[in-house]
Amino acid sequence: MKLRCDFCYRHCQLEEGQTGLCGVRTHKEGKLITSGYGALVSLAVDPVEKKPLYHFLPGSRTMSIAMFGCNLTCQFCQNYLISQSDFAGVIAGQPVDIQEIIDGAKDRHCPSISFTYSEPLVWQDYMLEVAKRAKQEGLATIMVTNGTFSEEALARIVPWIDAYNIDLKGDESFYHRLCGGSDEPVLEAIRYIGRTKAHLEVTTMVMESMHTLSMIETLAHALHERGVQVWHLSRFFPNYHCTEAETSESFLRQALEAARTGSIPYIYAGNSGMDQSTYCPSCHELLVTDRIRSSIHVLPTLKQGRCSSCRYPIYGRFGS
């Protein structure tokens, strides 16, 4: 008898002994299990800006954890050793007690725990166990994800995650050619989460050889329609199976101009030397200092979520 996994949009139907494309979800003895449950392949303390999240507790650090696995096969994967099924077991996961993760975050003055690096959707049962404990102990929760949720996963996860960064990699053609996936569930998840109280930022890694300015404009309008306030356009650097030249700063500048046609108020240039400060969309007052050239400071010009100069409401969570 086949069992149907509902962790992502694929809804894999698995025979006894069969494992899903993610390399994690397995039909074993009449049950679906998550292989390597609780065995972490990465545990680190990061600036929250590395997720990237620029409007959620800026200047803070986050305890970042990952188990193995992913349900996409992106040819440019930046973390393929801990995500792609061909590399299962290359890096041995280490079981870590959940309370040890919580205590470690507190000891290191991290106000949040991030589920990141690989794809948390495929180990969401463990993610939710950690997230529930974290929230009980006053910590915020962050999910960095490719966004290919199932409806069932959205219903399970949204009550327990405070902030998301979702990758929107390209248009439907891009997903088919390079990711072995679809943009449809990602856009639907962005719409769904955008209607909740959760914080949401979106990232697109721009590949000069694969993204066109027309595609960026189309994505910009799709994100604006779904209420997205913060969009990171990040430079591509060669990795895994993609050996194309890195994205130039000049093309990224053109992509930023194309992105602004969608009227998203906060757009940032990732993996670049360009200014990554936050300005008021209304009066252009500097609110948060440049993330790459100095220590990050939320300035007195941003008070209680508003620009102190013009009182414009600034999207995000900026601490007390």
The pLDDT score that the predictor gives to residue 120 is 98
Residue type, 301: T
Count of the separate structural domains present in the chain: 1
**In this structure, is residue 31 part of a structural domain?**
no
Confidence of residue 25 (pLDDT cuts 50, 70, 90): very high
Q: CA-CA distance, 144 to 146, in Å (whole number)?
A: 7
270 vs 88, which has greater pLDDT? 270
Is 13 inside any structural domain? no
Owning domain of residue 191: 39-274
CB 269 within 8 A of CB 233: yes
Write the burial class of residue 15 (CB in 10 Å: 0-12 exposed, 13-18 middle, 19+ buried): exposed
pLDDT classification of 287: cutoffs 50, 70, 90: very high
232 part of a folded domain: yes
Would 309 be classed as within a structural domain?
Answer: no
**Residue 292 belongs to some domain of the structure:** no
Average pLDDT, the chain: 96
Summarize pLDDT for 79-104 with one digit per residue, the tens: 999 999 889 878 889 999 999 999 99
pLDDT tens digit string along 140-186?
Answer: 999 999 999 999 999 999 999 999 999 999 999 999 999 999 999 99
For range 208-222, the mean pLDDT = 97
Q: What's the pLDDT at 21?
A: 94
**Buried b or exposed e, range 186-206, using 16+ CB within 10 angstroms:** bbbbbebbbeeebbbbbbbbb
Residue 153 lies in a domain: yes
CATH number assigned to the domain comprising residue 48? 3.20.20.70
The pTM of this model reads: 0.97
Q: Which residues contact 285 (CB under 8 A, 6 or more apart)?
A: 279, 301, 307, 308, 309, 310
In a domain, 287, yes or no: no
Q: Can you tell me which residue has the tokens 């930046």?
A: 78
| Number of H-type helices and E-type strands within the chain | 7, 18
- As a whole number of angstroms, the distance between CA 245 and CA 243 comes to 6
Residue 294 counted as domain residue:
no
